[in-house]
Amino acid sequence: MELDVSRNNLTGEIPLEYMENGSLEDWLHNQRQQQSQSNLSLVKRLNIAIDVAYAVHYLHYLCETTILHCDLKPSNVLLDGDMVGHVSDFGQARLLLEPVSQGNATTTTSGMKGTVGYVAPEYGLGSEVSTKGDVYSFGVLVLEMFTRKRPTDEMFREGLNLHDFVKDVDSPGKLVSNVDPILLGEEAQDDDERGRRNRGKRMEKIQNCLIAILEVGVGCSIESAGERMNMADAIGKLQSIRDMLHSR
């Protein structure tokens, strides 16, 4: 089932419309990968991340009854003809019957089953599901979108995970070896001096934006639930990054 809480519709209506661009999973890893090398740009990925953030915030705090999605991952983000992200598949969702404050929602439903790599670590210890669990999954999703690495990639073993892989990315030098290289090769190759200078400034801006985006993903996917960023702050930071990316 799809609940349309994208940036184009925050009404909570449930239309079962055809999503002609498939899933984010397709664009990152599967049959659309070749096409996505030219079409899934930094701006489009950032817009989709903001779409998902708004959807999660809506489910947690703007619905009459709080909804925990409990299975956020690229295959559950569908893309319409305008590449707007729609959160889908509420088969594992949980409802909270009590009003909640930011970050403190819990439910008495236990035995939560999610998808390996995206499930909050506290669930494996028997903790009740909460809004912070969705925040964790969102953080992993963001990191995957901009590194094009699954959290279950074979490189993540012996204690290393996607969060740790990027958490110390605080400089352009470290960024190059961690993000999807497509995102660092989008600029046109101008031969004249002015073009090279402008391209250098643009690349510096892209690098700073990517570092800031990864910081949001890391902040949302911290192992300790109480230390995670809340969705309102994540939305604010991602929108600020988009504004910076579009600024001259």
Task: Return the active site residues.
Answer: 71
Q: Between the CA of residue 84 and those of 6, 35, 78, 215, 238, what are the distances in Å?
A: 7, 17, 8, 23, 16
What is the rounded CA–CA span in Å between residue 132 and residue 129? Answer: 8
- Contact present, 165 and 156 (Cβ < 8 Å): yes
Residue 127 DSSP class: P
What is the rounded CA–CA span in Å between residue 221 and residue 149? Answer: 15
Please report, as a single letter, which amino acid is at residue 45: R
What is the rounded CA–CA span in Å between residue 209 and residue 221? Answer: 19
Mode of pairing for the β-strands spanning 85-87 and 66-68: unpaired
CB burial of residue 75 (10 Å; 0-12, 13-18, 19+): middle
